[in-house]
């Protein structure tokens, strides 16, 4: 009788330790629970990093039991650690939205990233210099990829133009010149300096780089409204739900592009061959000459010269002794141009340069008639409404019968002009408004209402086809 309690005590101790061991073994096989709905993804990732540090990588690199565990234990922590490693002044937040953009670039847009890597060899030194002059983070250079895919001739559907996608009025505000000959929104140097100044102003306004980047996309007015709706929070992720849809995706896309431009090779993405001469120097031109003539004199491809000097709208350098214009050339061609000016070049080259060139074609003008609008005229002469506004220094869209407009650049003047309107109707998209459509096609709300017999703006339904010019 006395031994029985001792036996039972020993058995109890054995069962107690066995249950602890069984529980520990079972816990090792249980999948890590996913974060609760609405919980910050960063919190889940931080927890995983803590587990990895405590347990060692070997515990977490075993073959996962299901897709959720694969996502949590696989590439997600890798993206976070790599973003942390390249983070400088601009916060590179990691979350599910950013992850989806990284995945999209990695799996679907390798060609784009490869091409951007090639083009960046030419453009990034220009951007970096402009940013450094303003004391800004050089990683803001990646914003240009989201803006224009490094295309200096890019024009958005609302008229934003160039590498940094400046709207006409903002470009004017920041000192960029636009006239019938040049558009400095397309000039890598001038536009980068203006972009740096804009970003500097926005950072001074908000004290937050992600908000400054957001305002670059949608303007400070939209950011201010979103901050107000978010209760005054100066945090992009807090105000994100209240921003325009494009801007909600704009910042995550920037973070994803920044990641890929630093870690492309790890995803087997390699730079495409550079499309532009990596080193170029500025040359002052003090005469009126077309870029095509200059390319022949310098024995270089005209397309290469156009790409290096995209600001010349008509591909004509309108330089003079009093107002020289800058042309960017590879160093060898710059030396050749200097030799030509001094008359020291090879006789054959001099003879070629002295040949009488065909006169540059003159621009074409059009006299406004009753019922005309900018959209109709632009479609008739195969240009854009923004072209007409820049060539003729128009602040608005109002035209007066008898008004004389330049309607083609010199380069296009010798091309046969179509008299057919290219855009007659427009299919209304979800979220469209009459004022938005009017702005897009260079007309007015009143004209749209008259053309389509619209009395009430609520009659504008998605899918409806409406006329956008009098000839439609």
299: left (phi over 0), alpha (psi -120 to 50) or beta: left
Q: Residue 417: is its pLDDT beyond 60?
A: no
Q: In which band, very low, low, confident or very high, does the pLDDT at 216 lie, cut at 50, 70 and 90?
A: very high
Distance, CA of 405 to CA of 391 (rounded, Å): 8
pLDDT of residue 375: 82
pLDDT of residue 362: 61
323-326, Cβ contacts within 8 angstroms, sequence gap of 24 or more: 324/284, 324/285, 324/286, 325/182, 325/284, 325/285, 326/282, 326/283, 326/284, 326/285
Least confident of 252-261, 354-363, 441-450: 354-363
Distance, CA of 212 to CA of 217 (rounded, Å): 9
pLDDT (tens digit, 9 = 90+) per residue, 351-402? Answer: 444 444 444 456 678 888 888 888 888 777 777 777 787 777 787 788 988 8
Name the fold adopted by 105-173+185-267: Lysozyme (1.10.530)
CATH 3.40.630.30 fits 364-467, yes or no: no
The model's pTM: 0.63
Between the alpha carbon of residue 452 and those of residues 57, 423, 445, 465, the distances in Å are 67, 15, 11, 9
The set of residues, in sequence order, having a beta carbon less than 8 Å from that of 20 and lying 6+ positions away, is none
> 468 with 425: CB under 8 angstroms?
yes
Higher per-residue pLDDT: 441 or 282 = 282
147 classed as catalytic: yes
- Domain residue spans of the chain: 105-173+185-267, 281-354, 364-467
Q: Mean of the pLDDT values across residues 452-457? A: 78
The set of residues, in sequence order, having a beta carbon less than 8 Å from that of 466 and lying 6+ positions away, is 425, 426, 428, 437, 448, 451, 452, 454, 460
pLDDT of residue 344: 65
Q: What pairing do the DSSP bridges indicate for beta strands 465-467 and 425-427?
A: antiparallel
Q: Residue 143: is its pLDDT beyond 90?
A: yes
Q: Mean of the pLDDT values across residues 182-206? A: 96
Q: Residue 198: is its pLDDT beyond 60?
A: yes
Cα Dmax for the chain: 127
Q: Residue 412: is its pLDDT beyond 80?
A: no
pLDDT (tens digit, 9 = 90+) per residue, 273-314? Answer: 888 887 899 999 998 899 999 999 999 998 899 999 999 988
The set of residues, in sequence order, having a beta carbon less than 8 Å from that of 451 and lying 6+ positions away, is 466, 467, 468, 469, 470, 472
Q: Residue 148: is its pLDDT beyond 80?
A: yes
* Residues facing 290 on adjacent strands: 316
pLDDT (tens digit, 9 = 90+) per residue, 69-120? Answer: 444 444 456 888 899 999 889 999 999 999 999 999 998 889 999 999 999 9
Mean pLDDT value across the chain: 78
Q: Which helix (H) or strand (E) holds 307?
A: helix 302-308
User: Which of 63, 68, 139, 147 is labelled catalytic?
Assistant: 147
Q: What pairing do the DSSP bridges indicate for beta strands 325-329 and 364-367?
A: unpaired
Higher per-residue pLDDT: 452 or 415 = 452
């Amino acid at each position: 009788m006395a031994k029985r309690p001792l036996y039972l005590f020993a058995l109890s101790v054995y069962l107690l330790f066995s249950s602890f061991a069984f529980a520990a073994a079972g816990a090792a096989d249980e999948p890590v629970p996913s974060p609760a709905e609405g919980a910050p993804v960063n919190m889940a990732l931080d927890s995983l990093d803590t587990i990895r540090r405590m347990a060692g990588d070997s515990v977490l690199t075993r073959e996962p039991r299901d897709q959720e565990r694969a996502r949590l234990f696989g590439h997600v922590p890798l993206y976070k650690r790599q973003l942390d490693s390249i983070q400088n002044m601009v916060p590179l937040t990691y979350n599910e939205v950013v992850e989806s953009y990284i995945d999209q670039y990695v799996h679907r847009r390798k060609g784009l990233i490869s091409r951007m890597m090639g083009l960046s060899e030419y453009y990034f030194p220009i951007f970096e210099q402009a940013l450094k002059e303003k004391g800004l983070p050089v990683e803001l250079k990646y914003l240009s990829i989201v803006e224009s895919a490094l295309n200096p001739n890019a024009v958005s559907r609302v008229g934003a133009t160039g590498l940094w996608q400046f709207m006409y009025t903002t470009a004017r505000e920041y000192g960029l010149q636009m006239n019938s000959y040049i558009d400095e929104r397309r000039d890598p140097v001038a536009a980068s300096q203006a972009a740096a100044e804009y970003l500097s102003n926005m950072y001074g306004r908000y004290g937050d780089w992600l908000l400054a980047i957001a305002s670059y996309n949608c303007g400070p007015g939209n950011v201010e409204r979103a901050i107000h709706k978010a209760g005054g929070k100066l945090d992009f992720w807090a105000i994100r739900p209240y921003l325009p849809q494009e801007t909600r995706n704009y910042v995550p896309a920037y973070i994803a592009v920044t990641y890929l431009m630093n870690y492309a090779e790890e995803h087997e993405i390699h730079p495409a061959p550079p499309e532009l001469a990596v080193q170029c120097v500025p040359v002052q031109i003090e005469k009126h000459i077309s870029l095509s003539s200059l390319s022949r004199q310098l024995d270089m491809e005209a397309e290469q010269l156009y790409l290096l000097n995209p600001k010349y709208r008509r591909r004509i350098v309108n330089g003079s002794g009093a107002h020289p214009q800058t042309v960017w050339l590879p160093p060898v061609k710059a030396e050749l141009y200097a030799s030509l000016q001094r008359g020291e070049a090879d006789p054959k080259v001099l003879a070629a340069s002295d040949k009488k060139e065909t006169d540059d074609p003159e621009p074409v003008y059009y006299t406004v008639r009753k019922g005309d609008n900018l959209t109709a005229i632009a479609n008739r002469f195969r240009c854009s409404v923004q072209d007409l506004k820049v060539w003729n220094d128009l602040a608005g869209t109002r035209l007066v019968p008898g008004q004389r407009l330049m309607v083609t650049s010199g380069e296009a003047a010798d091309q046969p002009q179509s008299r057919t309107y290219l855009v007659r109707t427009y299919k209304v998209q979800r979220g469209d408004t009459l004022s938005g459509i009017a702005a897009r096609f260079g007309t007015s709300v009143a004209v749209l209402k008259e053309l389509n017999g619209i009395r009430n703006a609520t009659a504008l339904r998605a899918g409806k086809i409406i006329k956008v010019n009098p000839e439609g």
